[in-house]
Amino acid sequence: MSKKNRTRRAASGQQAQARRQAGTTAVDRTLNGLWQAVAAGDPLAAELAAAECLALPRLAELDDEQGEEFITQVLVNQASQQASPEGAAVLRLLAALGSRVIKNEARAGLADLTGRGVYPQAWVSEVGKPDAVRAWRRYSVFGDHEAIAITFRYGEAEHGLLIQVDRAGMPLVTRVSVATDPDALTELITKTGTFEGSEEISLAEARQRLAQPVGEGVADTQLTTNVPAESVIFLPLARSRMRRLPEPADAPRFGPADRAAAVQDFLASPLAAEAIAADADSARFWAEVLTAYSGRVPDEPPGQVGPRKLAFILLGHVPASYDLTPAQRQHLEQTVTAWVRWSAAQRGLGEAETTELTEAVTGMLGDFDDAYATPDIAFNRAYLRDLAASDTDPATLNAHLTRRWFAVPWPGSASTAGDVGDPATRRRLVQEEFGDCTPPTGMTSDELVSAAQRVVEEIWSGDPAGRYATAEQLMRDGHDRHEIIHRLVQDTQLAQPRS
List the pLDDT tens digit at each of the 499 positions of the chain: 444 444 444 444 443 343 334 345 668 888 899 999 999 999 999 999 999 998 888 888 888 788 889 999 988 998 999 889 999 999 999 998 888 889 999 999 999 999 999 999 999 989 989 999 999 999 999 999 999 999 999 988 999 999 999 999 989 999 999 998 989 999 999 999 999 999 999 999 999 999 888 876 665 656 666 777 778 888 888 988 998 999 888 777 899 999 999 999 999 999 999 999 999 999 999 999 999 999 998 889 999 999 999 999 999 999 999 999 999 999 999 999 999 999 999 999 999 999 999 999 999 988 999 999 998 898 899 999 999 999 999 999 999 999 999 999 887 655 566 789 999 999 999 999 999 999 988 899 999 999 999 999 999 999 998 999 999 999 988 899 999 999 999 887 655 544 4
Asked if 256 and 268 touch (Cβ cutoff 8 Å), the reply is no
| Class of residue 319 by CB neighbours under 10 A (exposed 0-12, middle 13-18, buried 19+) | buried
Residue 10 pLDDT: 41
Instruction: Give the dihedral sign, CA 266/271/274/278.
Output: negative
Chain centroid to CA 68: how far? 19
Among residues 295, 203, 303, the alpha carbon closest in space to that of 253 is found at 295
Asked if 131 and 193 touch (Cβ cutoff 8 Å), the reply is no
Ordered strands of the 196-201 beta sheet: 172-179, 157-166, 145-154, 131-140, 196-201
Residues composing the chain: 499
Q: Give the three-state DSSP class for 481.
A: helix
Residue 59 pLDDT: 80
| Class of residue 189 by CB neighbours under 10 A (exposed 0-12, middle 13-18, buried 19+) | buried
What's the helix, strand, coil split of the chain in %, to 5?
65, 10, 25
Dihedrals phi, psi of 202, to nearest 5 degrees: -75, 160
Residues 204, 207, 209, 212, Cα dihedral to 10°: -140
* Alpha helices, H only, 116-234: 182-189, 203-214, 220-223, 229-232
Please name the residues in contact with 206: beta carbons below 8 A apart, sequence gap of 6 or more: 135, 137, 148, 150, 245
Q: Give the three-state DSSP class for 173.
A: strand
**Strand residues in 125-249 grouped as ranges (E):** 131-140, 145-154, 157-166, 172-179, 196-201
Among residues 143, 491, 90, the alpha carbon closest in space to that of 294 is found at 143
Across 372-388, b (16+ Cβ under 10 Å) vs e yields beeeebebbbbbbeeeb
Asked if 471 and 462 touch (Cβ cutoff 8 Å), the reply is no
Among residues 122, 128, 184, the alpha carbon closest in space to that of 154 is found at 128
Among residues 160, 171, 291, the alpha carbon closest in space to that of 223 is found at 171
Whole-angstrom CA distances from 198 to 96, 140, 149, 183, 451 are 32, 9, 11, 16, 59
Residue 329 pLDDT: 96
| Class of residue 203 by CB neighbours under 10 A (exposed 0-12, middle 13-18, buried 19+) | middle
Asked if 98 and 126 touch (Cβ cutoff 8 Å), the reply is no
DSSP conformation class of 433? H
Amino acid symbol at 6: R
Among residues 334, 462, 329, 328, the alpha carbon closest in space to that of 387 is found at 462
DSSP conformation class of 437? S
CB atoms < 10 A from the CB of 71, how many?
23
Instruction: Give the dihedral sign, CA 410/415/419/423.
Output: negative
Among residues 208, 82, 212, the alpha carbon closest in space to that of 135 is found at 208
| Class of residue 361 by CB neighbours under 10 A (exposed 0-12, middle 13-18, buried 19+) | buried
